[in-house]
Structure 1
Amino acid sequence: MKKSEAINLAKAKLPDRRFQHSCRVADTAVQMAKIFGANEKKCFLAGMLHDYAKYDDLKGMQKIVKKFHLAPEYLQFKSEILHGPIAAHIMKTEHGVTDADVLYAMENHTSGRSNMTLVEKIVFVADYIEPRREIPGVKGIRKVVFGEKNLDKAVFLITKANLLHLISKDRMIFSKTFECYNYYSNIKE
């Protein structure tokens, strides 16, 4: 898929505020790709399309999970988790995206997972640190990425923050998020 096609798909489907976020994630991902030696085009595409299904109907997403035998655990969660795997599925089945790095990055951009690919880690982090995000602790994570140049530590810190947030709200936690935390807690240094 060409960059222009990804931009047009995102722009046509997403509200302007979410489209602008996707543009910033894609740009941040490219910036990070240059630092960490990743494929810039893959990072751009995954960053631009990561939220493609963000506003899709929940029942429709659940039907896709069932029809295409995606992980049954997805059915326990709402759009916050589902939109990534559904976006990846739509890009693969309807738009011919076959690159595993791009699809994994889209699928796991909210939950993370253990042993992520370089593109996955970059999009996971870029989504969290894009310039307009003002999440508590984000400035420190930007320093870890752009100052320390430690991507694994950034993944760990984001996952830890996400877990603490979910626990503070008494929310269910997706198994991949625990796996991500455990995996990156051992290699963050």
Structure 2
Amino acid sequence: MDIEKALEIVRHKLPKKRFEHSVRVAETAVKLAEMFNGDKYNCELAGILHDYCKYDELSEMYQIVIREKLDPALLGFNKELLHGPVAAIKMRDDYGIKNDEILLAISNHTSGRDHMTLNEKIIYVADYIEPERDQKNVDDIRKIVYEDKHLDLAVYEITKATIKHLLKSDKTIYPRTIECLNYYNMVKE
């Protein structure tokens, strides 16, 4: 799929604000790909498409999880976690994207995982630090990425912040996210 086609399908599906976020994630991902020697095209495409299913019906998402035999633990979570894995399936099935680098980056941008590929890490981080994000620690993460040039440390700090937020909100934490935290805690040095 070319970039213009991706922009077109996302523009027609997502609300204007979410579409604009997706464009900023793609732009940030390209910048990170240049910094860390990632694949600029794969990162741009994954950035545009990452939130494609953000507003889909939860029941439809559950059906896809079951049909595709995805991790059954996903059935205990909501759209915030499910939209990534479901978007990857839809991109593969509905739009013919077969590139695993793109599909993994879309799938895991919501949860992270241990041993992420470079492009997965880029999308995971770009989604968190795109220019309009203003969460509490985002400037610290931007410094880690842009000044210290430390992608694994950024993944760790983002995952840690996410888990802290989920604990504070008394929400269940997806096991893969905990595995991501533990793994990047070990490799962040």
Do both share a fold (TM > 0.5)? yes
Aligned-partner Cα distance in 1 for 2:96–2:160: 34
Alignment of 1:1-189 (within 5 A): 1-189=1-189
Aligned-partner Cα distance in 2 for 1:61–1:174: 16
Q: TM-score, normalised by structure 1?
A: 0.99
Question: Number of paired residues?
Answer: 189
How far the C-alpha of 1:66 sits from its partner, in A, is 1.1
Structure 1 residue identity aligned to 2:184: Y
How far the C-alpha of 1:168 sits from its partner, in A, is 0.5
CA RMSD of aligned residues (A): 0.5
Structure 1 residue identity aligned to 2:20: Q
Aligned-partner Cα distance in 2 for 1:73–1:9: 30
Aligned-partner Cα distance in 2 for 1:169–1:160: 14
Q: Which runs of 4+ in 1 moved over 3 A?
A: none
Aligned-partner Cα distance in 2 for 1:168–1:158: 15
Give 5+ residue unaligned stretches, structure 2: none
Q: Quote the sequence identity (%).
A: 49
CA deviation vs aligned residue, 1:79-122 (integer Å, no higher than 9, x gap): 01100000000000110001111000000101100000000000
Structure 1 residue identity aligned to 2:186: N
Q: Secondary structure at the match of 2:136?
A: coil
Aligned-partner Cα distance in 1 for 2:67–2:46: 24
Give 5+ residue unaligned stretches, structure 1: none
Structure 1 residue identity aligned to 2:71: A
How far the C-alpha of 1:70 sits from its partner, in A, is 1.5
How far the C-alpha of 1:67 sits from its partner, in A, is 1.6
